Amino acid sequence: MTNLDELSGSTQTALDPQDEVKIVGQYYDGKTAKLVRKYGPGPRIHYHVGYYPSSETPPYAPDVTPDDIRRSIRLHQEGLLRYAAKIWGAEHRLSGRILDVGCGLGGGSIFWAQEYGADVTAVTNAPEHAPIVNGFARECGLEGKVRARVCDAMHLPLDGPYDAAVAIESSGYFNRPQWFERLARVLRPGGSVCIEEVFTTRPHGADVWAEYFYTKPATVLDYVEAARAAGFELVDEIDATSETAPFWDESAAWTKAVLDSDSGISPVERRQLRISLLANQALGTEWKAGGLRLGFLRFELKSTTGSAS
């Protein structure tokens, strides 16, 4: 597995920022088929944790199949977006022009467009993902309402003003000061930055996350300081660590079910799945131990700060 201390933008490295962006883009390009296999089929494919109001992992029968678990994962991933929509007031904050920054395969972008009528620019730095997002949008009849754009978060399009920006488990890869500075230029005064992210509470938690997800998570304070410097104010903070903890059990259960099934997977795929299983188990343990937390943040751009130019 790649050494994150060599590649992560959040560590002390000598990599050029553009090289870091390219590496992360290539990393997610390489994961496309795996994401579709685990979280598909489309058109709404999500790559983030799920929300479990009861804080319990659904029980599994002895004959449970990978498809059964995948359907449950997808249901709870959509549940996370519905919960986010409720606490962020999506009906009036995420119904206009929005940026979905780090959009993955576009599941969230399509969700905001279908459920709230948003006009979405779906931003990705994985070139292979853009045509997939646009294809899913066409499949949903959303051509023109959801448009994928290949760029990094620090160079968001200056074709605003946008009403809001959303980042679902993507902002951990961004240079936060630069990202908020850019957002201050593309959002209208009073516009929102809505973030769902994994935050660290102790060094070991950050290391466990970085071992598998390519970057070390920051603290909420890191976000607040970067946002404040760019003219944003934190107005909402919700902790959902306990309600999202069961995701890791479900994710591990899916991987184990695939390994146990007679699916003809190759030795290389089997090894990768075993690594994924161990990672999910480690993340679940750290999540429950308090080394990582899941939070929803919403920042507002102060009206005295300049908007898009």
pLDDT tens track for 165-176: 999 999 999 999
Average confidence (pLDDT) over 96-110 = 97
DSSP string computed for 77-91: HHHHHHHHHHHHTHH
Any idea which of 39-43, 121-125, 229-233 has the lowest mean pLDDT? Answer: 39-43
The answer to whether the pTM exceeds 0.85 is: yes
* ω into 161 cis (within 30 of 0): yes
Higher pLDDT, 55 or 122: 122
pLDDT for position 34:
81
Task: Say what the pLDDT of residue 212 is.
Answer: 87
Closest CA to 162 of 174, 173, 149: 149
When pLDDT is cut at 50, 70 and 90, the band that residue 4 belongs to is: very low
168 φ, ψ (degrees, to nearest 5): -100, 105
Q: Chain centroid to CA 115: how far?
A: 19
90-105 mean pLDDT:
97
Bigger pLDDT: 9 or 234?
234
The pLDDT of residue 297 is 98
Q: What is the pLDDT of residue 308?
A: 44
Instruction: Give pLDDT tens digits for 35-89.
Output: 888 888 889 999 999 999 986 666 677 778 999 999 999 999 999 999 999 999 9
Stronger pLDDT, 160 or 199, i.e. the higher one: 199
Indicate whether 8 pLDDT > 80.
no
Task: Tell me what pLDDT residue 304 has.
Answer: 62
Buried b (16+ CB within 10 A) or exposed e, 279-289: bbbbbbebbee
Tell me, what's the pLDDT at 225? 98
pLDDT number for residue 55: 64
> What is the structure's pLDDT at 160?
84
Q: What is the pLDDT of residue 11?
A: 33
Residue 245 burial by CB count (10 A; 0-12/13-18/19+): exposed, middle or buried?
buried
Q: Give 303's pLDDT tier (boundaries 50, 70, 90).
A: confident
Average pLDDT score, the chain = 87
The pLDDT assigned to 274 comes to 94
The three-class DSSP label of residue 45 is coil
Q: In the predicted model, is pLDDT for residue 265 greater than 90?
A: no
- The band of 296, judged by pLDDT with boundaries at 50, 70 and 90, is very high
**Which percentage of the chain shows pLDDT scores above 90?**
72
Q: What pLDDT was estimated at residue 31?
A: 65
What pLDDT was estimated at residue 62?
Answer: 72
